[in-house]
Every structure is written in C-alpha cells, then in structure tokens.
Amino acid sequence: MIRRLAELWTGCPIGFWLVLAACAYFVWMAVRLTVIDVQHHLLPNRIVFPSYAVAGVLLLGAAIAWAVCGSVSATGSDPSAQLFGIAGFQAVAAGVTLYAFYFVLRVIYPQGMGFGDVKLAGVLGLYLGYLGWGHLVAGTFAAFLFGGIWGLALILARRGTLKSSIPFGPFMLAGAAVAMAAFPA
C-alpha cells in the first residue's frame, strides 16, 4: 500500500488522498472491531456494513481518479493508468470472491465461522483486491496462519481445546494489514 501511495502522490494527488483516507478508515475500523470481537465475540453490523460504503467509495474513487489522471497525462497512454482503472473492478470482484469463500466455509462448518466474519471478509476483499489478487491470497492465508498459531498457543498453554471458540475477526484484520503493508503493490 505504501508503494501505491507513493505512485499516487506523484501521479494523481487526489487519488493519494482518497487511498490515504481509506487506510485511515481501515485502521479505525480494525481497532474498533478487534476490541469488540475480543471482548464479545461479535463483529457489529453498525461498523461492518458502513465499511462497505466507505471503502468502496474511497477505493473506487481513487481508481477512477488515477484513470482520469492517466488519461489526461502528457504521454497519452499510461499503462499504469489502465492498471489503476481496473483496480476498482478488481476490488469489487475480490470483495465478492472473499465473501463467497468465507460464506462457503460458514455453510460447510457453521460452528467454525461466525457470520460476522463472513460479512467482514467482503470489506477486506475490497481493500486487498484494490492492490491485487496476490494480496487477497496473502491476506487470507495470513489470517488463517495467525488464527492457527493463536489456537495452537492456547492449546499448548492448556487454555483451550480443539473445540474452543476464538474471535477470528482480529486475525482477519491482521492478515489483511500485513498483506497491505508488507507486499509491494
């Protein structure tokens, strides 16, 4: 995400500010949802549902701004502008894909996944998809890796069993954050 911000700063400042606002909102959302999920095993709709609109507007706006900035550039056809132009569509497709993946997991084993996690997956898919499909895969993998390590630590510390319920939202958010921060866009 840092590299994407740098590209936007030099090529399209309005896109930069939109992505920066999306990142700030992500941090606010992640902190709020993590605290609530750890305390209550709940990801409230009053935070998750508006996040679709906020992330969608900001990220799609950034993709459109970049496409417009690229189309009026002096070179006439900037390949990176085309990339950013399709980033908006890719973000939406990734959001739907990640939502569907988590929904299938919920249907297969309802006790293993809460529906709040399914709803949050769509929002995280928007963020990760804006950066690329590799980010979506990395963020999803990291979420399950972090959750698995935490579960194993609970079992080894004798504070849980294989049937223990853990809040998965914080691991989903951490996985997305790591993928956005660690992998180049």
Q: Which pTM value belongs to this model?
A: 0.90
In sequence order, what DSSP letters do the residues of 52-73 get, joined into one string? Answer: HHHHHHHHHHHHHHHHHHHHTS
Q: Which amino acid is at 143?
A: A
In angstroms, the CA 106 to CA 78 distance is 42
Cβ-proximal residues to 130 (8 Å cutoff; 6+ apart), any chain = 59, 62, 63, 87, 88, 90, 91, 94
> Rounded to whole angstroms, what are the CA distances from 80 to 8, 39, 129?
10, 43, 16
pLDDT at 18: 94
pLDDT tier, 75 (very low <50, low <70, confident <90, very high otherwise): very low
Per-residue pLDDT of 79-125, as tens digits, reads: 554 555 578 889 999 999 999 999 999 999 999 899 999 999 999 99
